[in-house]
């Protein structure tokens, strides 16, 4: 309240202006960091909500830090010995006193088992459950207030999203559930070609609610660009593996990593990507929801706008009695799929669309929010890691891979016969070219081109705003 009251007084006449939103975000982010683990985790999720929440809010919360002072080694020893039932010296041949990392919920230490295996030991912070329970009550009270002051929060379905957040953070406090999530994801990834994405193996006898011992995998953070280049890692296979991991996990198996960010991903010197921290794992909990996601994604690729709206409704994005023809007309969605937008329109379309969706009762389904947030992060990470990767080639590869690998399941689950209705990504590729500002007949578009094009469009939109 102390962070928001001065802002409310200063901007009571224009609370929804860009300046007002930036001012609110600048006050909220440090307040979230001071309030502790629950708010920090929520702040990080807000920072990954590109295109779903105001740019000012998202941009500020990208700076939200989850680095806090480490607990003492005496505390770590006490918890590990109590949870695992023996003296530290009997449980481990070596145990590093200095943590590898210290975050708001837990900290990790390197160690070695008696058989010589290198492991990482994750230890929960003291009193965290009591604090999280209290904070969740505060957030439940705060949600309707934020919806009033941040209209786009209604599209993000903030109350329902906070309910999902509450569920996931409570699960995150039981490391046995995290270990189960790791095994679920690992089983899916083991079926992928080349095992390009891997998960550390939790130790079967050394997992408790507050301690998780797992295999140690070494590599580079995804933001260590030069080290990855120096190691000779080709970014193209990394791009393909990550996108296929997210798409197949959600669409085919109904489960995916729900909290992708730089701290939760590592690239090994051999080019494999390792995922960590499975406390937040997204799930389409029943087969109907998974099929609706599959239909939503494939109707996007096939440019079937009416079907796309129907599947979005089936995911919970619209009330069951929503007039989808009226939604389609109001949003000016033709039947010809994605189309090139002007520079000014690209910068404003998402905000305008959000407003219209809210007017029609539109809400972002909770697991879809986590899924799309992960996709946005991956695109950003690959844009940094492989700025010269050819997007057109990779989009075509992904579409071709999905249709050849899962064509029979598409037919069974959603009635899409990819042989009778070939999946054509031309319109999607045209949109990418338009956004990048390259010629329509261009044969390649890199992430670097895309970033330049988007920067130019934002600049053009700003100039247009000054002359209005």
Distance between CA atoms of residues 241 and 237, nearest Å: 6
Question: How far apart are alpha carbons 461 and 50 in whole angstroms?
Answer: 18
Taking phi over 0 as left and psi of -120 to 50 as alpha, with beta for the rest, 83 belongs to alpha
Q: Which residues does residue 15 pair with via DSSP β-bridges, in sequence order?
A: none
Rounded Cα–Cα distance for residues 14 and 9 (Å): 10
- Phi, psi torsion values for 212, nearest 5 degrees: -130, 115
Query: How far is 126 from 292, CA to CA, in rounded Å?
Result: 41
For helices 128-149 and 158-172, give the axis angle rounded to 10 degrees: 170
SS3 of 282, please? strand
Collapse the DSSP code of 420 into the 3-class scheme (helix H, G, I; strand E, B; otherwise coil) and give the result: coil
Burial class (CB in 10 A: 0-12, 13-18, 19+), 348: middle
Q: Report how many helices (DSSP H) and strands (DSSP E) the chain contains, helices first.
A: 20, 12
Which one, of 333, 329, 323, 307, lies nearest residue 361 by Cα?
A: 323
* Nearest residue to 274 (alpha-carbon basis) of 304, 312, 233, 315: 233
Q: Encoding tokens for residue 320?
A: 């069951």
Of 55, 135, 259, 413, catalytic: 259
**Cβ atoms of 393 and 230 closer than 8 Å:** no
Q: What is the CA radius of gyration of the chain?
A: 23
- Distance separating the N- and C-terminal Cα atoms of the chain: 36
259 is catalytic: yes
Neighbour count for residue 87 (Cβ, 10 Å): 11
Ramachandran bin of 271, using left for φ above 0, alpha for ψ from -120 to 50, beta for the remaining angles? left
Q: Which residues participate in catalysis according to the annotation?
A: 259
């Amino acid at each position: 309240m102390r962070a928001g009251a001065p802002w409310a007084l200063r901007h009571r006449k224009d609370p929804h202006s860009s300046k007002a939103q930036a001012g609110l975000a600048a006050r909220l982010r440090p307040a979230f960091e001071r309030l502790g683990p629950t708010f920090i985790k929520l702040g990080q999720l807000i920072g990954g909500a590109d295109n779903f929440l105001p740019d000012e809010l998202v941009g500020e919360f990208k700076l939200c830090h989850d680095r806090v002072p480490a607990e003492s080694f005496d505390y770590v020893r006490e918890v590990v010995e109590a949870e695992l039932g023996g003296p530290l010296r009997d449980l481990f041949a070596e145990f590093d006193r200095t943590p590898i990392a210290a975050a708001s919920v837990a900290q990790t230490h390197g160690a070695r088992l008696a058989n010589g295996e290198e492991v990482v030991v994750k230890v929960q912070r003291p009193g965290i459950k009591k604090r999280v329970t209290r904070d969740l009550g505060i957030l439940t009270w705060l949600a309707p207030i934020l919806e009033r002051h941040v209209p786009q929060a209604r599209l993000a379905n903030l109350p329902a999203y906070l309910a999902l957040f509450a569920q996931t953070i409570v699960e995150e406090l039981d490391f046995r559930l995290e270990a189960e999530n790791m095994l679920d994801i690992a089983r899916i990834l083991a079926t992928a070609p080349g095992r390009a994405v891997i998960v550390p193996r939790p130790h079967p006898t050394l997992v408790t609610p507050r301690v998780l011992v797992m295999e140690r995998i070494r590599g580079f953070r995804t933001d260590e660009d030069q080290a990855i280049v120096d190691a000779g890692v080709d970014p193209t296979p990394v791009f393909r593996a990550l996108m296929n991991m997210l798409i197949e996990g959600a669409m085919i198996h109904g489960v995916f990593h729900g909290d992708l960010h730089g701290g939760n991903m590592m690239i090994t010197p051999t080019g494999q990507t390792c995922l960590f921290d499975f406390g937040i794992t997204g799930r389409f909990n029943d087969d109907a929801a998974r099929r609706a996601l599959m239909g939503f994604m494939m109707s996007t690729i096939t440019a079937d706008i009416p079907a796309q709206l129907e599947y979005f409704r089936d995911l919970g994005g619209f009330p069951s009695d929503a007039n989808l023809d009226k939604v389609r007309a109001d949003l000016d969605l033709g039947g010809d799929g994605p189309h090139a937008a002007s520079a000014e329109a690209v910068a404003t379309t998402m905000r305008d669309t959000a407003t219209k969706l809210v007017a029609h009762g539109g809400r972002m389904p909770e697991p879809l929010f986590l899924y799309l947030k992960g996709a946005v992060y991956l695109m950003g990470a690959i844009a940094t890691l492989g700025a010269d990767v050819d997007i057109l080639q990779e989009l075509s590869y992904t579409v071709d891979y999905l249709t050849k690998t899962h064509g029979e399941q598409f037919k069974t689950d959603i009635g899409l016969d990819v042989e009778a209705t070939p999946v054509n990504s031309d319109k999607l590729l045209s949109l990418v070219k338009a956004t990048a500002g390259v010629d329509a007949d261009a044969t390649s578009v890199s992430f670097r081109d895309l970033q330049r094009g988007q920067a130019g469009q934002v600049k053009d939109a700003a100039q247009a705003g000054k002359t209005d």
